[in-house]
Amino acid sequence: MMKKTVLLLLLMMTLLVSAQQKREFRGAWIQCVNGQFQGMGTQKMQQTLAYQLDELQKDGVNAIIFQVRPECDALYESSIEPWSRFLTGQQGKAPSPYWDPLQWMIDQCHARGMELHAWINPYRAKTKTTNLLATTHVAVRHPEWCFDYDGLKILNPGIPENRDYICQVARDIVTRYDIDGIHMDDYFYPYPAAGQQIPDDAQYRQYSNGIKDRGDWRRYNVNLFIKQFYETVHQAKPWVKVGISPFGIYRNKKSAAIGSNTNGLQNYDDLYADVLLWVNNGWLDYCVPQIYWEIGNRAADYDTLIRWWSQHAAGRPLFIGEDIERTVKFGQQAQKRTLSQQMPGVQGTVLWYAKAAVDNTGNYGTVLRQNYWRHPALQPQMPFIDKKAPKAPRKVKPVWTSDGYILFWTAPKGKNWDDVATRYVVYRFEKGEKVNTDDPAKIVAVTPNTYYKLPYANGHQKYTYVVTALDRLQNESKPAKKTVKL
What pLDDT is attached to residue 18?
43
Per-residue pLDDT of the chain (486 residues; tens, 9 = 90+): 555 544 444 455 544 444 689 999 999 999 999 999 998 999 999 999 999 999 999 999 999 999 999 999 999 999 999 999 999 999 999 999 999 999 999 999 999 999 999 999 999 999 999 999 999 999 999 999 999 999 999 999 999 999 999 999 999 999 999 999 999 999 999 999 999 999 999 999 999 999 999 999 999 999 999 999 999 999 999 999 999 999 999 999 999 999 999 999 999 999 999 999 999 999 999 999 999 999 999 999 999 999 999 999 999 999 999 999 999 999 999 999 999 999 999 999 999 999 999 999 999 999 999 999 999 999 999 999 999 999 999 999 999 999 999 999 999 999 999 999 999 999 999 999 999 999 999 999 999 999 999 998 888 899 999 999 999 999 999 999 999 988
Closest CA to 199 of 159, 164, 156: 156
> Which residues does residue 243 pair with via DSSP β-bridges, in sequence order?
183, 286
Residue 204: is it exposed, middle or buried by C-beta count within 10 angstroms (0-12/13-18/19+)?
middle
What pLDDT is attached to residue 458?
86
What pLDDT is attached to residue 457?
84
- Give 230-272 pLDDT, tens digit per residue: 999 999 999 999 999 999 999 999 999 999 999 999 999 999 9
What pLDDT is attached to residue 459?
85
Cβ contact 265:299 at 8 Å: no
What sign results for the dihedral spanned by CA atoms 352, 356, 357, 358? positive
What pLDDT is attached to residue 34?
93
Instruction: Kindly calculate the radius of gyration of the chain based on its CA atoms and give it in whole angstroms.
Output: 24
What pLDDT is attached to residue 310?
98
Cβ contact 260:249 at 8 Å: yes
What pLDDT is attached to residue 14?
45
Return all residues near 444 (Cβ < 8 A) that are at least 6 apart: 426, 427, 428, 452
- Give 49-91 pLDDT, tens digit per residue: 999 999 999 999 999 999 999 999 999 999 999 999 999 999 9
What pLDDT is attached to residue 20?
85
| CA pair distance 312, 372, nearest whole angstrom | 26
